[in-house]
Structure 1
Amino acid sequence: MSAPSLVGAEWEVEVGPVAHGGFCIARHEGQVVFVRHALPGERVLARVTEGRVGDRFVRADAVSVGQASPHRVVPPCPWSGPGRCGGCDFQHVDLAEQRALKAAVVREQFSRLAGLDVDVEVAAVPGDHDGLDWRTRVEFAVDGTGRAGLRRHRSRDVVPVEDCLIATRPVVGSGVLDRSWPGVAAVDVIDAADPAEPVLVPVPLERARERARPQGRDRRGGDRRYRGPQPDAGRDDAGDGGLVREVVRDGDWSGEYAVAARGFWQVHPGAAPTFLHRVTVLLEAAPGDRVLDLYAGSGLFTARLGELVGPDGIVLGIEGDRRAVENGRANTGHLPNVEWRAGRVDAELATLVDQGVGADLAVLDPPRTGAGPEVIAHLAALGVRRAVYVACDPAALARDVATALTHGYRLASLEAHDAFPMTHHVECIAVLERAD
């Protein structure tokens, strides 16, 4: 028989350190409690939301605060808080402390999973307004009455909202929250450079069911960073919002990218130019270099790298989403030294190893689950001397760095960027170099 449920139990607890995932750690009579809406050092009343007697840990919400942290603020969003929208983790925390908490998580993950002491700070990404008004791509869930909203934390329940403060004003101004959506499971809203008006893409209920289990892509090859249902490989753009155009500028350089409306693109307006600049600076690609761009998407890094290595070099983009590869080929069509392969990254790299092909440099921008040990081993076998790894999950990154250490690499540098303010997510960029 199942152990008794603890859901609804309320305990006064002293809140300890922040944990990966937007929680802080507390204990009650020896029971580990992961508490949301709390801050380290606070004393709160925690209401259990998940867990049973005997569980290794339970989850809870801080429903009242007895002793508040000096970093606690009134959440700017009225739909943020226990039992409400689950999209933001840190609306109750001042912005500087949010970044300090994220840095603490990065340090803890690298210490625990890679055995490395790292000194890292989380830098602001330009383009938001005090941590708000930055998300250019939002998937709004639709409830049984046809009303659009956002989901509760770890739930399929839809919370009706009148605004989303982290979304850009064009996303909210699109009218997605003002109309009814009968027969629709979700509505994606995309605020791109072109077209000037946001693109709204309804996802019909039957189509959402068909796409609940994407075929032919997994964490090593497909791109699951975008949380909505993914475009099916080989489909046309009908019903998926077609193509949108993104423009990225880095100093005097600028590039235009065609991207599937529901495909992957960085959601913070400053993220793509920031990461492009940092990747190119850190990679130090020179004319004649052979570069692998792994999980290349629609070619954000590929196009710039193709220019940097010149006609005597080569860039190979590998991506699991065939439509993204088609767009990537179009985005880099002016560069004869850029090639593309559509397939699982680990499988494509294994083919290169079997063929005796070598590479000088690599860029990795994998989904949240990370690249995995096979990909890291293949990079070593290909002779890659330096790799720049862009990661949206510090735990996955730390595990892959630990693997890289066993293959003769060292962590040359690590930096972090706040591309997702008000949430626990943080983007890291690591440089791996051959230790010799």
Structure 2
Amino acid sequence: MTRSADRTLDWTDRVLEVEAGAVAHGGHCVARHEGRVLFVRHALPGETVRAVVTDDQGGSFCLADAISVLVASPDRVEAPCPWARAGGCGGCDFQHVSPEAQRALKTTVLREQLSRLGGVESEVSVEELPGGALGWRQRIRLAVDDEGRAGLRAHHSHEVVPIADCLLAPSGMLPDLLERSWPAGSHVEVAVDATGERRIGTRSRQRAAGREWDLSPGAFWQVHPHLADALVGVVREWAAAPSGGTAWDLYGGVGLFAAVLGEQVGPTGSVAVVESSPAAVADGKRALADLPQVWFREGRVEQVVKGLPDPSVVVADPPRKGLQKQMVAAICDRAPERVVYVACDPASLGRDVTLFAARGYGLAEVRSFDAFPMTHHMESVALFTRS
């Protein structure tokens, strides 16, 4: 039965007693009831819970949220945030899980996606970053409801949930902003930069790769303060761009990885950064003005790469959908020695592992970081080499 096969079957708002099974990609656990699959938030594997069905399109599965726990997992803890609950804020998936168990769940998901979609068995584990599970999120985009109140979105919804604070943000970053009135339907961009200053819709300064970066409002930058340098360290080791060589930095943003590649290829080499955001390109050119071997090309990656010189090494940090068939082919057809792939979605990574393998590039290494504690998200880096 497909998701839309039986529109008359609707369990929405039904409360069911189910046993939660394995964790699934997306922060849910898999349960079954009367032949149908339920993806249950706020549950843990092995628990018996009462769950309310929150979304049912009449197919073979529906979405649900645990509202009470009858048999608890030993990994369950009290959620520190009162809005991290059924019907509450959609930002956190795992506040009811100990930090160690959160990483174990993410490791399970990552290995399963690599195995099922990529056809590879890996012993990769999701690694802890410094700083703990709270207070790490240095950039937040608040939504504003029709009454001018700022808050965060409910899960899979445009509904704005009014909150008094967010425990993922540094202390003091949000409370006064959440008390203000804002233009209805707008958004509020808030960041804490490397100087410790709070920026509201203005430029911010960050530090990584031994440099300072002056960023335009809304420019992409990793929200965990330790992730940028963690990724830089892996890229530096795995890219190993040769002196005098040519490298690509695709979906390069402000050129964080290009800073490393530029140092590796040296003044006789060349690094092409491809980025679609004009503001990011401008920020990157300013930040890397001392590396003339690094040059930026603004535009869609799939179009710009056609005119680039053949690379020795490619670094790619695509959006959540991953590289997909067209870009994997475009990269492999140019025969780089190595491809370093930064992936924020394990399913996209697993699929692209298969696409690279079909083009003669095997998965040589993979690491993953718990860059988004309390959520199901993770950041992974994969190294592909020619067979």
The equivalent residue for 1:280 is: 236
> Is 1:120 the equivalent of 2:121?
no
The equivalent residue for 2:208 is: 248
- 5+ residue gaps, structure 2, are 1-5
The equivalent residue for 1:6 is: 11
**Structure 2 counterpart of 1:319, which letter?**
E
> Is 1:72 the equivalent of 2:76?
yes
**Structure 2 counterpart of 1:13, which letter?**
V
Q: How many residues align?
A: 382
The equivalent residue for 1:33 is: 38
> Is 1:407 the equivalent of 2:359?
yes
2:147 to 113, 135, 145: 145
The equivalent residue for 1:23 is: 28
The equivalent residue for 2:310 is: 358
The equivalent residue for 1:49 is: 54
Q: How many Å separate the matches in 1 of 2:313 and 2:124?
A: 24
2:372 to 397, 412, 420: 420
**Structure 2 counterpart of 1:178, which letter?**
E
The equivalent residue for 2:251 is: 295
Q: How many Å separate the matches in 2 of 1:111 and 1:139?
A: 34
> Is 1:169 the equivalent of 2:140?
no
Structure 1 residues 170-195: Cα deviation after superposition (integer angstroms, max 9, x where no partner):
5225x21121113452211111125x
The equivalent residue for 2:331 is: 379
**Structure 1 counterpart of 2:153, which letter?**
R
Range with bigger deviation, 140-149 or 290-299: 140-149
Instruction: Tell whether the 8 Å contact from 2:274 to 2:296 is kept in structure 1 after alignment.
Output: yes
Instruction: Tell whether the 8 Å contact from 1:290 to 1:313 is kept in structure 2 after alignment.
Output: yes
C-alpha deviation, 1:56, in angstroms: 1.8
Structure 1 residues 197-237: Cα deviation after superposition (integer angstroms, max 9, x where no partner):
31113xxxxxxxxxxxxxxxxxxxxxxxxxxxxxxxxxxxx
Identity of aligned residues (%): 46
- 5+ residue gaps, structure 1, are 202-240
Instruction: Tell whether the 8 Å contact from 1:349 to 1:375 is kept in structure 2 after alignment.
Output: no
SS of 2:20's equivalent? Answer: strand
Instruction: Tell whether the 8 Å contact from 2:135 to 2:169 is kept in structure 1 after alignment.
Output: yes
The equivalent residue for 2:92 is: 88
Q: How many Å separate the matches in 1 of 2:217 and 2:170?
A: 16
SS of 1:120's equivalent? Answer: coil
Q: How many Å separate the matches in 2 of 1:181 and 1:327?
A: 29
> Is 1:304 the equivalent of 2:260?
yes
The equivalent residue for 1:192 is: 193
C-alpha deviation, 1:110, in angstroms: 1.0
The equivalent residue for 1:206 is: none
Range with bigger deviation, 284-293 or 85-94: 284-293
Instruction: Tell whether the 8 Å contact from 1:190 to 1:261 is kept in structure 2 after alignment.
Output: no
Instruction: Tell whether the 8 Å contact from 1:388 to 1:431 is kept in structure 2 after alignment.
Output: yes
C-alpha deviation, 1:360, in angstroms: 0.4
The equivalent residue for 1:215 is: none
Q: How many Å separate the matches in 2 of 1:184 and 1:198?
A: 23
The equivalent residue for 1:262 is: 218
Instruction: Tell whether the 8 Å contact from 2:53 to 2:64 is kept in structure 1 after alignment.
Output: yes
Range with bigger deviation, 74-83 or 366-375: 366-375
Instruction: Tell whether the 8 Å contact from 2:7 to 2:59 is kept in structure 1 after alignment.
Output: no
**Structure 2 counterpart of 1:102, which letter?**
K
Structure 1 runs, 4 residues or longer, greater than 3 Å off: none
Q: How many Å separate the matches in 1 of 2:101 and 2:184?
A: 42
C-alpha deviation, 1:141, in angstroms: 1.2
Range with bigger deviation, 296-305 or 415-424: 296-305
1:339 to 295, 308, 317: 295
Q: How many Å separate the matches in 2 of 1:359 and 1:285?
A: 10
* TM-score relative to the length of structure 2: 0.96
SS of 1:171's equivalent? Answer: coil
The equivalent residue for 2:381 is: 429
> Is 1:107 the equivalent of 2:148?
no
Instruction: Tell whether the 8 Å contact from 2:145 to 2:184 is kept in structure 1 after alignment.
Output: no
Change in Cα spacing, 1:58 to 1:299, as seen in structure 2 (3 Å) is same
Instruction: Tell whether the 8 Å contact from 2:240 to 2:264 is kept in structure 1 after alignment.
Output: no
**Structure 2 counterpart of 1:416, which letter?**
S
